[in-house]
Amino acid sequence: MSNSIKLAILGLGTVGTGVINLINDNLNELKRRSGRDIIITEVGTRRQRDDIDTNIMQNSDLMAIAASDNVDIVIEVIGGTTLAKDVIMQAIKNGKHVVTANKALLAEHGNEIFAFAEENNVHVAYEAAVAGGIPIIKVMREALAANKIDWLAGIINGTGNFIMTEMRDKGRPFADVLSEAQELGYAEADPTFDVEGIDAAHKLALLASIAFGIPLQFDKVYCEGITGITLQDVNYAEELGYRIKHLGFAVRRDSENDGDAGVELRVHPTLIPQDALLANVNGVKNAVLVNSHPLGQTLYCGDGAGAGATASAVMADVMDLVRVLGSKDRDDQSNTGHHVPHLAFIPEQLSDTPILRADQMVTGYYLRVHAYDSPGVLADITRILSDAGINIDAILQKPAHKVGQVPVIILTLPVVESQMNLAIEKIEKLETITDKVVRIRLDELA
Ligand SMILES: NC(=O)c1ccc[n+]([C@@H]2O[C@H](COP(=O)([O-])OP(=O)(O)OC[C@H]3O[C@@H](n4cnc5c(N)ncnc54)[C@H](O)[C@@H]3O)[C@@H](O)[C@H]2O)c1
Ligand SMILES: N[C@@H](CCO)C(=O)O
Ligand code: NA
């Protein structure tokens, strides 16, 4: 058995450089924990770099690296869904294990990639793809393997949480904080993925699959980002004892619950109680709250983006694979027998539970309604809500900020979205209502 494990790193940006630094810093720890020499033999880079060890081969032909005999494990950190997919398929075809941080690729093409990996007896590991350094994939696939997961809720985009925290605490403008997140290496190559919720939706698709044993269905995730959140709503929410966080929810709804049976997959800004642990997860930190039976609620928190945190997750996967490669050499067995399934459940057991449409989802709401300050207006609004079977939890009427117009803030108990849509349509038709109703979902996380 050769004592060395040969790695290729494709892409030397934030994460790729973070992995090289981690290996240099912790080489001794890696060896002590694995009993193997972990060496980088090849890197994929567009231009020759003079800051890379001369023993490492630099190559701009990534497909060649993915097929190289001098590589055991391919680490894909170029991002994107085209070349990244080709090189991963190439690596799998050539019998190499893959480690990737690429949630966009897996959310969109993971079903095909994992099936191809299983056919070829190799593993595609992706801890870095969800919640950065937090070992959430490992926890959910392995530590919670005996539980039935009912729901999870998470802050799963570091850039977005960093922006919302800085805006709330320091009143900094959105664009300034986003630029800082880019400089710090948190943001995606296209930062609209972060601020429009797409990156969180990619991660939620992965989390939902390993929670419920369903195929990846990114196209069915309901997705809202943080660009529409105003400081005004942040402040009203705080006044009412809530905080606005951008959250991803994966919820299993059984037929005995109100509404239809199926799975809710949604990412959106959400009012949560100020004293909830998730409400106090700030900056680039991510956190995932998992409600499972019989364990109950558990919370996993840590840095969700950045070079060091992401490299930690990439190398945790490498270490798992190093151990598998060791057992393969020892036992001469097929690799897959030593792995947890890619999506936590064995492939034949993935279920076709339907993903609910947005209008079937059940959540509480924060509504901001602007009305002329005239007698009876509040009664009209509350009548429409009660006619629709919507229970009001709190009402706050603010002093007029434009002459004669008052903002009215209403918090509701959970309601099926189609009911809320109808009620809002009626409220907006009232003559006393001056603007579109602002709505943000609300969850007590109970
Ligand atoms: N930055 C983070 O905090 C973070 C966290 C988790 C996951 N990720 C994911 O990790 C991946 C990489 O992210 P990043 O932040 O390091 O991005 P990055 O833009 O900093 O790095 C990507 C690197 O790949 C290189 N590259 C792209 N195409 C190439 C090609 N054809 N040949 C050679 N090199 C090529 C680019 O030049 C760049 O250096 C993405 O999938 C991202 O979603 C990033
Ligand atoms: N852009 C992502 C990187 C980590 O996946 C984020 O900010 O969370
Ligand atoms: Na992770």
Half-sphere exposure of 184 (CA within 13 A, CB side): 21
CATH 3.40.50.720 fits 4-134+307-349, yes or no: yes
Indicate whether residue 283 lines ligand 1 (CB < 6 A).
no
Mutate to test the pocket of ligand 1, among 310, 315, 317 (most ligand atoms within 8 A of CB): 310
Evaluate whether 4-134+307-349 and 138-303 have a shared fold: no
Residue 329 pLDDT: 53
Indicate whether residue 317 lines ligand 1 (CB < 6 A).
no
Residue 320 pLDDT: 96
Indicate whether residue 305 lines ligand 1 (CB < 6 A).
yes
> For residue 13, how many other CB atoms are within 10 A of its CB?
14
Smallest CA-to-CA distance from 103 within 188, 17, 196, 213 is with 188
Indicate whether residue 87 lines ligand 1 (CB < 6 A).
no
User: 382 alpha carbon to ligand 2 midpoint, in Å?
Assistant: 41
Mutate to test the pocket of ligand 1, among 10, 12, 15, 57 (most ligand atoms within 8 A of CB): 15
User: 274 alpha carbon to ligand 2 midpoint, in Å?
Assistant: 24
* pTM of structure: 0.96
Active site residues: 203
The complex scores an ipTM of 0.99
Residue 328 pLDDT: 58
In the chain, what are the domain boundaries?
A: 4-134+307-349, 138-303, 361-442
Q: Within 6 Å (CB) of ligand 2, which residues are found?
A: 132, 157-159, 186-188, 194, 199, 304-305
Shortest-distance Cα residue to atom 4 of ligand 2: 305
> What CA–CA distances, in Å, run from 259 to 181, 268, 314?
39, 20, 40
Fold of 138-303: Dihydrodipicolinate Reductase; domain 2 (3.30.360)
Residue 256 pLDDT: 62
Rg (alpha carbons) of the chain, rounded to whole number: 24
pLDDT tens-digit readout, 286-326: 999 999 999 999 999 999 999 999 999 999 999 999 988 87
Flag residues of the chain having pLDDT under 70. 1, 256-258, 327-338, 401-403
Indicate whether residue 432 lines ligand 1 (CB < 6 A).
no
> For residue 282, how many other CB atoms are within 10 A of its CB?
16
Fold of 361-442: Alpha-Beta Plaits (3.30.70)
